Structure 1
């Protein structure tokens, strides 16, 4: 996982949260998708593939392996190209020795939770996850075989190194900088439970700088929302809005605050906050997305 600057990270966070808002809004009137995710799949090589993500997770826990998730789609030419390039290779069979492989249709019910959690939008896509769901590797779109193997082994090595670091940490004694950086990476690896105590430590650290507290609060609010604690997320983001001296960070925080009511199934409240954001930030790069959400929310709640 490559390092990113504060500005890039904040924009990434705002972008992910905007996607979350769109997904939450879509849930207000979404139609049920046929469950095609558990149909039989062809097993390349000697790998024991499944089409059930829960079965794969259970096997991974029992066998202490990683989970290899492949998303495929109808009429996906690049999906077939990747299978042709990867699956016959000895390197691919060797890669899967320590993994439980699962293949799901991108549009299936079985894939929906994985898509939402890990931000998968198109096929082909591949995820490698720990048994607990921590992100190890993510690829979306076509990669040729050399690039795939180069990147997957790089990310596997980085994950092993990061895991050793996390396991060695004494969280109550972490320096502020390490608490922030580790907490952020855990969040980006979709492990909010492990991120929470580290970011909380950074926020309350007596020697944390203002910038470190700002960054920790920004990510902590997202972690709290992921953990199903919207009231705590609102309190954290309001504190950030009140204390930060960064106009850019305050704008992102106000955008995040507008999305919290969607997690509480309060579209009217979200509509009011998105309208306020649009009035307060007429030059925001997120304005087109905000305006689109406002239109959808107006339709959902029946307010002009």
Structure 2
């Protein structure tokens, strides 16, 4: 009887999910919204990651020409939405920034949301740039996610330090690649499947930074997935209807999750960003 009840609930759940999807304009028939995800290291060097890539000044004249070439190629995707890594709770602030930029009252910072997001939206004369990030409070206590503290308290500080050095070495390699690449080629690299696999693997290491009773590493990775699911949900809300075409610009760590959720959900047809990013010329470094 329990098996029958369980199967019935599962079938009911699927039916409800499909009904909700149709109500939201999500299509499983192939007539889906189109999504192009541009993943990148953060142009403005905020220094908030475990390993931080040092990005060469993108405001330099030669880099500005390369960014303009990227924007022109992305415009060929003909998006009717441009979405960026900006908290949905602060959409009004983003609206003002975009309006000021279009009116000549705002000078773009190095941040990729400015350099790529605002530029692209203005190039296409779009009415707004969509904020789709989630920066709200996570459930539980901060200590529930403190895998670094757990490692140090359990005699594994050396292991954590080695992990951190490896992460920084990878970030330094990304920085070196940027110095030798055009902006377009650098962004193409972040969309390469080999890079994506290399970038995802450390999350599974962090997920083992705990034990069977207390695993803050797995908690942290789970919350990372939860944040990306919320970003996907925000994208689906603003741009998930058949006929929508969206370029979303986010940190490279988010990009593979957003692509996977967008495709596997049936909400979006996800295109390869490399098809819309310029290649070359190679820079001297």
Higher relative contact order (CA 8 A, sep 6+): 2
Structure showing the higher helix proportion among its residues: 1
Q: TM-score range by the shorter chain?
A: under 0.3
How does the TM-score come out when normalised to structure 1?
Answer: 0.22
